């Protein structure tokens, strides 16, 4: 607790903190973390460490995490770029600083994908850390946006047909495949294994649909008459934002059990869920500002993670590690929370 407090006081003063300084503190803390018990939220006894990834002045957004690698959109050079922070080495590496905008990164293994407008419209590009090379994935002259990646498969939303569709590129066979080209809008794809999920507006309101690459079949997950949107998927579990109760809630569908459950239906707004194994996280507005909340599916237990006046935005999760953006007005910081139980980054 004492170590956390002194650490937290230090990071609360941005004038004396730069990314590289956060780095040395991160390494120090990681080396100390065998002896740390972390921070316990008094309300619910969930324990975690909070560590800075980037607390430099400036705008950054859309953090994503895989293993020890955290990627983000960063505007330090006056336009959107992609940066990587390696939790193991404590090093920050620019991935793409091309003078036009690179935004909305996703990562799987050594592959980082993002949306890129260097050609005058939005395209999908990839950087492979293993070979140290960038390659275009889709440069079709309309807009490709919001990429998601799992293994050899990269999915995105695409407006080449005059409305938004879902497309995919398979790196293994070097081929692009249309996933859903229905004439209404399909948005916000997420992918895990053979399953791609998205938000679908064909029925006049937001629904959740799935495409199974193994069977080639499309499956509606929720067509409830209110809006369902912003899906995320891990193995056989799909979570999304649901407005059926008159405000934004979090719902889950289990593909194995073919069963829908409510994760959080608190009367304020819950938004932008992410899922990994047993953990579902989201942004929650019940306290006035957006805070991060965690739900453990097995224990049926909800905990509040962030506190304080700063909004916590756009979380992502890998194993027991959560990355998110903390709102400091014009400045947006990126933090890492390590939930107790998983230990330090490997
Ligand atoms: Ca750029
Ligand atoms: Ca394009
Ligand atoms: Ca469409
Ligand atoms: Ca609906």
Q: What is the pLDDT along the chain (346 residues), one digit of tens a residue?
A: 222 333 233 223 333 333 444 444 454 444 444 333 344 444 556 899 999 999 999 999 999 999 999 999 999 999 999 999 999 999 999 999 999 999 999 999 999 999 999 999 999 999 999 999 999 999 999 999 999 999 999 999 999 999 999 999 999 999 999 999 999 999 999 999 999 999 999 999 999 999 999 999 999 999 999 999 999 999 999 999 999 999 999 999 999 999 999 999 999 999 999 999 999 999 999 999 999 999 999 999 999 999 999 999 999 999 999 999 999 999 999 999 999 864 444 4
What local confidence, expressed as pLDDT, does residue 46 receive? 83
Expressed in angstroms and rounded, the spacing between residue 55 Cα and the centre of ligand 3 is: 39
Looking at all shown ligands, the one closest to residue 167's CA atom is: 3
Cα 57 to ligand 4 centre (Å): 40
Expressed in angstroms and rounded, the spacing between residue 203 Cα and the centre of ligand 2 is 27
Ligand lying closest to the C-alpha of residue 115: 2
What separation in Å is there between the alpha carbon of 293 and the centre of ligand 4? 24
Q: What would the CATH number be for the domain defined by 57-306?
A: 2.120.10.30
What pLDDT score was predicted for residue 45? Answer: 66
Residues with C-beta atoms within 5 A of ion ligand 3: 163, 165, 182, 186
Listed by start position, the domains of the chain span 57-306
Q: Quick one: which of 99, 105, 98 has its CA closest to 84?
A: 105
């Amino acid at each position: 607790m004492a170590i956390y407090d002194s650490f937290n006081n230090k990071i609360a003063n941005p004038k004396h903190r730069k990314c590289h300084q956060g780095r040395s503190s991160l390494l120090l803390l990681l080396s100390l973390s065998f002896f740390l018990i972390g921070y316990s939220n008094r309300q619910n006894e969930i324990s975690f460490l909070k560590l800075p990834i980037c607390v430099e002045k400036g705008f950054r957004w859309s953090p994503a995490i895989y293993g020890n690698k955290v990627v983000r959109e960063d505007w330090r050079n006056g336009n959107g770029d992609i940066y990587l922070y390696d939790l193991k080495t404590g090093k920050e590496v620019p991935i793409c600083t091309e003078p036009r905008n690179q935004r909305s990164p996703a990562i799987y293994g050594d592959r980082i994908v993002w949306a890129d407008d260097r050609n005058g419209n939005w395209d999908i590009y990839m950087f492979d850390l293993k070979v140290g090379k960038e390659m275009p994935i889709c440069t079709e002259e309309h807009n490709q946006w919001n990429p998601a990646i799992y293994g050899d498969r990269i999915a995105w939303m695409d407006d080449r047909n005059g409305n938004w569709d879902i497309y995919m590129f398979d790196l293994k066979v070097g081929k692009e495949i249309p996933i859903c080209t229905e004439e209404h809008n399909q948005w916000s794809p997420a992918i895990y294994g053979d399953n791609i999920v998205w938000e679908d507006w064909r029925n006049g309101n937001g629904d959740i649909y799935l495409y199974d690459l193994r069977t080639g079949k499309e499956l509606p997950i929720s067509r409830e008459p209110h809006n369902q949107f912003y899906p995320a998927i891990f193995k056989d579990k799909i979570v999304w934002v649901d407005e059926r109760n008159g405000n934004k809630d979090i719902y889950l569908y289990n593909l194995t059990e073919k069963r829908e459950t409510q994760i959080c239906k608190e009367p304020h707004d819950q938004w932008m869920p992410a899922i990994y194994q047993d953990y579902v996280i989201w942004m929650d507005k019940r306290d006035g500002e957006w805070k991060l909340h965690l739900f453990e599916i097995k224990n049926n237990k909800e905990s509040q993670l962030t506190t304080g006046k700063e909004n916590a935005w756009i979380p992502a999760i890998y194993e027991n590690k959560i990355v998110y953006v903390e709102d400091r007005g014009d400045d947006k910081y990126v933090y890492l929370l390590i939930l107790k139980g998983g230990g330090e980054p490997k």
